[in-house]
Structure 1
Amino acid sequence: MKFSTFTRTALAGVAALMICGSAAADTWRVATEGTFPPFEFYNSQTGEVQGFEVDLVKAMAQKMGKDLKLETLGFDAIIPGILSGTIDTGAAGFSITPERGKRVLFSIPFYKSGLTIVVPKGSTGIADFKDLEGKRISVQLGTTSMSYAKQIKGAKISTFNSAGDAILNMLAGNADAVINDKPVTDYILAQNKNLAAQTTHLKPIATADLFAMVMAKDNTKLKGEIDKALKDLKADGTFNKLHEKWFGVPADPELP
């Protein structure tokens, strides 16, 4: 059978579109950020992003049969990237909140966290969250910690791109306390003995945060794939191995 030049060109175009569409469907575009250890942070020697959630999405991509395209963005730029369609999923320690739920779809939760307080070693007057009224508080920009701090009566809030910078600001005498996610603070202080020696990490926890990955509200197909991959990794023990690698303890058995 012979085809005209126009027909051959049209068929070639359709084939190209099918190939491109298949390639796009097999690529999982994930955005993370590099200042939220131990979930995602830059390796000081290689310059590459690493961490619990980075290892997790790599393992998930294998379960999903997709090629992972991982990029780093500022935390505040990830959800806009999802809304614009330039990325598929945000994996950057996103807390499940009603406000975020108006804009994006959440995966099943994979981590349970909470907010805690750090104060300078030897300081007095702050033992719990009720003692933060009227105090100077440092937080990481765009996080649940910032939202919580804004609700504290009379608090004077300063924001930073990382929790580590917030702690340094406090130690410089510019804040009375830092509010941050407990696992991140634990990791920062465990890795930096100098900071640990100058600070006290208080025990009270203000809220229980559930972390999840985020995607477009209408992308229920991707949510199903992500949720299944997470459940499969928990079932075969991979999830728990990654959790122990980065946190030193087994994963929370209460999460799905």
Structure 2
Amino acid sequence: MPKLLPLALPLLAGLTLSAAAAHADQLEDIKKRGTLVCGTLGIAEPFSFANPQTRETQGYDVDFCGAIARSLGVKLELKLVAVPARIPELQQGRVDVLAANLGWTAERAEQIAFSDSYYVSLTKAATRRADKFAAVNNLSGKRVATAKGSTSEAAARKAIPDVQVITYQDPPSIFLALQQGKADAAVASELVLVKWKTEVEASAPIDVLEPALLNESWGIGMRKNETALIKHVNGVLESMEKSGEAARIFDKWLGTGTPYKLKRGFQSGPIKG
């Protein structure tokens, strides 16, 4: 048997360790570590945003992260991520899961695994009332502000002919662009637009236009091939649906007692591409 060259020994060891890491069971790693690292936006009320009093991150997405952590008997650690950085943060192992307004797309599904849906979002466009845009088809060729790398950006490009897309890092920047006249419309989730509409009705009213540009299912993002973790997360979502916990979280953040006054018209379940 040929002898290994001295320089080959550390190389072989490195390859062995890399192979072991590649086949590690992430679910077991999370349990051993005692912490679930959940990537979330932190600036997207009511999904994940800072509590005005405590400054702690809270919201719909955060509650689902917390439920997954409790099911594993581990602590929850939140890591705030920007919209364009969501998938890279997950792929590079800096977060275990993503609960970050992550809408399913075929392109994303090639990069990461999606859980069953835990929210269904309508993407719409909002304009300044003074500009008198009656419907989405009036926005052809206009300047539209949206979040960089989001499904809202993709929806605007697909649904509005000759659109001039201007991208920003977060929802407040999008709305500011609309208010300052840097954009003719803002494209975001319906509930974000409804909240903005309520807040500025007296001073600078906006209209939310029909029809919706996109109807998208959101899932918890995970790395591909982590079958144990994916199965566990889907089991948690199924249990939350059956127990009513998922509906209670919806009502807490989005229901009739909130500024959004929405009714839950969906159930958690497999996302159909």
Q: Which of 204, 216, 233 is equivalent to 2:240? A: 233
Instruction: Note the residue ranges of structure 2 that are not aligned, 5 or more in a row.
Output: 1-27, 256-261
The change in CA–CA distance for 1:22 and 1:233 in structure 2 (over 3 A counts) is closer
1:120 aligns with 2:128: yes
Residue equivalent to 1:65:
73
How far is 1:196 from its partner?
A: 7.6
How far is 1:214 from its partner?
A: 0.4
1:42 aligns with 2:55: no
AA matched with 1:173: G
The change in CA–CA distance for 1:23 and 1:212 in structure 2 (over 3 A counts) is closer
* TM-score for the superposition, normalised by structure 1: 0.83
The change in CA–CA distance for 1:101 and 1:22 in structure 2 (over 3 A counts) is closer
2: CA distance, partners of 1:176 / 1:150: 15
The change in CA–CA distance for 1:177 and 1:21 in structure 2 (over 3 A counts) is closer
Residue equivalent to 1:82:
90
Instruction: For residues 74-119 of structure 1, give each alpha carbon's deviation from its aligned partner in whole angstroms, at most 9, with x where no partner exists.
Output: 2222211211122210110100000101110000001111111111
How many equivalent residue pairs?
Answer: 235
Instruction: Note the residue ranges of structure 1 that are not aligned, 5 or more in a row.
Output: 1-19
How far is 1:189 from its partner?
A: 3.5
Instruction: For residues 120-155 of structure 1, give each alpha carbon's deviation from its aligned partner in whole angstroms, at most 9, with x where no partner exists.
Output: 02322x333322211011112221111122333322
How far is 1:197 from its partner?
A: 4.6
How far is 1:194 from its partner?
A: 5.3
Identity score, percent: 26
- State whether residues 237 and 268 of structure 2, in contact with CA within 8 Å, keep that contact through their aligned partners in structure 1: no
Structure 2 SS opposite 1:110: strand
Residue equivalent to 1:216:
223
- State whether residues 119 and 266 of structure 2, in contact with CA within 8 Å, keep that contact through their aligned partners in structure 1: no
Deviates more, 1:91-100 or 1:140-149: 140-149
Taking only aligned residues, the RMSD between alpha carbons, in angstroms, comes to: 2.2
Residue equivalent to 2:40:
32
Q: Which of 176, 179, 201 is equivalent to 2:208? A: 201
Instruction: For residues 9-42 of structure 1, give each alpha carbon's deviation from its aligned partner in whole angstroms, at most 9, with x where no partner exists.
Output: xxxxxxxxxxx95853543221111122211122
Residue equivalent to 1:181:
189
The change in CA–CA distance for 1:195 and 1:166 in structure 2 (over 3 A counts) is farther
- State whether residues 27 and 68 of structure 1, in contact with CA within 8 Å, keep that contact through their aligned partners in structure 2: yes
Structure 2 SS opposite 1:94: coil
Q: Which of 138, 147, 152 is equivalent to 2:145? A: 138
How far is 1:63 from its partner?
A: 2.4
2: CA distance, partners of 1:30 / 1:22: 11
2: CA distance, partners of 1:180 / 1:21: 36
AA matched with 1:210: S
* TM-score for the superposition, normalised by structure 2: 0.79
2: CA distance, partners of 1:250 / 1:138: 27
Residue equivalent to 1:5:
none
